[in-house]
Chain A
Amino acid sequence: MLVVTNNPLLCSEPNALFVDGSFRDVLVKVRDLVYSGYELVTHPLFASLGMMFSPYRTVVLGESCGRASDYEMELVENAIVTYDQATEGRVRFAEYDEDYAWMDRSLYQSALEDQGLVLNRY
């Protein structure tokens, strides 16, 4: 399991690959890893526009099987397009960054609980 994140609350998470950059930088890193054969465990995007404006994002990958999945490559590319579209022209509002970090970690933890058994195999 590989946890690709720019969330400071998760930088010391086991298997964390810390990205010193933006939400978009995390998506790009995830895309590169998916192209190199890593399996996507969680979807790169959140489920709401409210979270699209989060400065932080955490995406869980599985192990590298050496062969990229067509579906996952398309999915992560579309995620970047969607992210760019949704955040275009927006002036970032930094006041609630701490809350966003907390929420991102909380949703990451829910994903782990959801997939707990599966993740144990990694």
Chain B
Amino acid sequence: MKLEQGLVYIKDVVGGSENSVKDGVLTVDVEGLKAHLLEDPKVKAVEVDFAKPGDHTRIVPVKDVIEPRFNFDRVNGFPGMTVKYNECGNGRVNVLRGAAVVTIGDAVGFQEGVIDMWGEGALWTPFSKTYNIVVDITPIDGVDPHEHETIVRMAGLRAGTYVGLAAENATVDETKVWELGPAKEESEKYPDLPKVAYVQMTISQGLLHDVYMYGVDVKEIIPTWFHPNEELDSAIVSGNCVAACDKITTYQHQTNPLTEDLYEQHGKTINYIGNILSPELTTLDGKFRNCDYTAKLCEQLGADGVIVSEEGYGNPDSDLVMICKRLENRGIKTALVTDECSGWDGTSQPLTDTAPEAVAVVSSGNVSKVIELEPADKVLGNLKAAETVAGGWAGCVGDDGSLKVELNAVIGATSEIGYHNASVKLY
């Protein structure tokens, strides 16, 4: 597969009467966007606002983040979700790099997180650096939480595609080509390099805990191999809204840095043999089945090494460790990427489960770390929601609008695929 991404660097966003980019300034047809989203008869109201890096703006509760794009060589949109199925991963796509559609709104009372565009909060979320088109979607009355989640998810994706229309005729600043041939060909090219696969675990357990690939609810599938380009070309969509810090937003799927880094090393230090989607189920039988199946796929593909990334916290820790054990027991070297829940002082047991085979573990941060966020000049969404997002607690919102929360509450703060700002400092 060969995917050619034309990156259009966005340096500002304004409202206007068309979708276009000129000299890095993205113009969004706000009224057109609203009208487009209101075409869904289940959407009652849409509000659109902008949040730019450095603005004293707080966005809460965030549902998802989407990168706006325009596909030239396939049906434009999210195949299987917002448009009919088309294979993702080939052809040309223009990307509004630096812009993001951020959806907000309450589906149930407790959920999702905070994006601060300035100050301490901005240090912790990668989406403080993007020019955000914030879309607040209100469904019609009487929908249940399942429907509500679907309406907001679909509206966010459609907004991403609508804003992405601006990329069609935009001047491309940089072109990236992602190309990986059939495993046999790549192995012939690099016979001496170790074969490395990437296992991507995704929360797959039900309402607000789902992920979709080509519109298929992945809790319904057994683990499957896929080409890395498919994810980079919008085949995977987030449907989970419960753990802000380590939720993999749709944006982070579209730009998965583990995939990009593996590509970077392909042909140099490794032979990258593709990705495996491994759903994290809630039943033990399902976990055993998927973990066995994931390890078997890696073995059958001839992997010498595997990188495994987790999504979520709690019962997925068991999957992470089981996959690691099964791979190591097959003689496949395994590295894990996960975050830690190590308590406010960072000294508690970081994962629910452990194993002696887990000898190479990359931590993306302690989700329990407490941070203090000063009051915002402007709040998009509902500040009260901060009390009930993961990481917030009763009384964490001060009278002046300040916030005291765990990193849990901050979108993408401890991303387990590495799309985040936290890093390690040696003393």
Contacts and interface: CB of A to CB of B under 8 A. Distances in A.
Given A89-B344, A90-B393, A93-B394, A49 B110 contact: no
B343 A85 contact: yes
Contacts of A118: 283, 285
A75 B242 CA distance: 23
Nearest to A82: B352
A39 B314 CA distance: 19
Nearest to B112: A50
The listed residue with most B CB atoms (<10 A of its CB), out of A43, A89, A115, is A43
B388 interface: yes
B98 interface: no
Interface string B226-252: 000000000000001011110000000
* Most chain A CB within a 10 A radius of its CB, from B203, B281, B284, B349: B284
Interface in A42-74: 42-53, 60, 72
A9 interface: no
Contacts of A82: 314, 317, 341, 349, 352
Contacts, number: 150
Interface residues of B, number: 52
B394 A49 contact: no
B109 interface: yes
A102 B281 CA distance: 19
B393 A48 contact: no
A115 B206 CA distance: 13
A96 B349 contact: no
A93 B207 contact: no
A118 B341 CA distance: 33
A50 B243 CA distance: 5
A15 interface: no
A40 B390 CA distance: 27
A47 B209 contact: yes
A45 B203 CA distance: 13
Contacts of A81: 349
Contacts of B273: none
B389 interface: yes
Given A53-B390, A85-B343, A110 B315 contact: no
Contacts of A48: 203, 209, 240, 242-243, 312-314, 390
A118 B283 CA distance: 11
Nearest to A81: B349
B388 A85 contact: no
B387 A52 contact: no
Contacts of B344: 88-89
B282 A47 contact: yes
B17 interface: no
Nearest to A52: B314
Centre residue among B285, B312, B367, B387 by max chain A CB count within 10 A: B285
A50 B406 CA distance: 12
A72 B283 CA distance: 12
A16 interface: no
Interface string A87-122: 011111101101110110011011100110010000
B219 interface: yes
B36 interface: no
A43 B282 contact: yes
Interface in B193-225: 203, 205-209, 219
B108 interface: yes
B408 interface: yes
B89 interface: no
A83 B208 CA distance: 20
Contact of B111 (A50, A89, A106): A50
Given A82-B314, A90-B393, A96-B109, 13 more contacts: A43-B287, A45-B314, A48-B209, A49-B367, A49-B408, A50-B243, A75-B318, A82-B352, A86-B368, A92-B394, A99-B110, A110-B207, A114-B282
23 contacts: A41-B283, A41-B284, A42-B284, A43-B287, A45-B352, A46-B209, A47-B203, A47-B282, A48-B203, A49-B314, A50-B243, A52-B314, A79-B352, A82-B317, A82-B352, A85-B341, A85-B343, A89-B344, A92-B394, A93-B388, A93-B394, A111-B206, A111-B282
